[in-house]
Amino acid sequence: MEGGAHRVTLGRIAGVYGIRGWVKVQSFTRPVGNLLDFPRWWIQARQPYEARLLEGRVHGGGIVAQLGDAAGAPIADRDAALALVGAEVQVERSAMPEPPAGSYYWSDLVGMEVASAGGAPLGRVTGLLENGAQDVLVVQEGDRERLIPFVHGAIIRSIDLPARRIVADWEPEY
């Protein structure tokens, strides 16, 4: 990434919309329309580039948007839009507002070390899942994968972002 910038994937271009160069975007934000709050998107296509969000709106369960091309001109052609299908949509982490106290961006938790309340290492967060009831940490330790419910207080005892450490009420043999 240029200049050591940290980017976060917040969506994926899922298809084209119409014939005038608009794209369908699967947003990973909650609610999905929050992706429209960012005027600059990094498009991770065959030739990655920074795109301007020219227009966009929530449509169905996703977003439809018109983007600028690498030179800043509006993409106005279906074939040019089709070339972007499958590309990740990223934004600069520094452009994202800080979450409220006690809330975390998933991307900030990935890579953190997890330990039991007794201090035993449980592994490193490799991702998160949403199961409807609560979010779940995916924790990898060697060949072993643990799924730890992300429930503050009852299971997740503490999160120390600067130290990159999570303490969970979870035993190594679970």
Residue numbers of the domain that contains 90: 2-95
Answer yes or no: do 8 and 82 share one domain: yes
Task: Reply yes or no on whether the pLDDT at 4 is more than 90.
Answer: no
Cα 143 to Cα 122, 128, 148, 159, distances in angstroms: 12, 18, 16, 24
CATH number at residue 85: 2.40.30.60
Percent of the chain with pLDDT over 90: 82
Interior CA angle at 103 toward 141 and 156, to 5°?
40
Q: What is the mean pLDDT of residues 87-95?
A: 95
CATH number at residue 155: 2.30.30.240
pTM to 2 decimal places: 0.74
* pLDDT the model gives residue 107: 86
Average predicted confidence (pLDDT) for the chain? 93
Answer yes or no: do 6 and 85 share one domain: yes
Question: In a 3-state reduction of DSSP, which class is residue 37?
Answer: helix
Q: Is residue 100 part of a domain?
A: no
* pLDDT the model gives residue 102: 82
Q: Is residue 70 part of a domain?
A: yes
User: What is the tens place of the pLDDT at every residue in 58-83?
Assistant: 999 999 999 999 999 999 999 999 99
What is the tally of structural domains in the chain? 2
Q: Is residue 161 part of a domain?
A: yes
**What DSSP string describes 121-137?**
EEEEEEEEEE-SSSEEE
Answer yes or no: do 19 and 59 share one domain: yes
Q: Which of 129, 132, 136 is nearest to 156 (CA)?
A: 136
Answer yes or no: do 146 and 74 share one domain: no
As a whole number of angstroms, the distance between CA 166 and CA 27 comes to 27
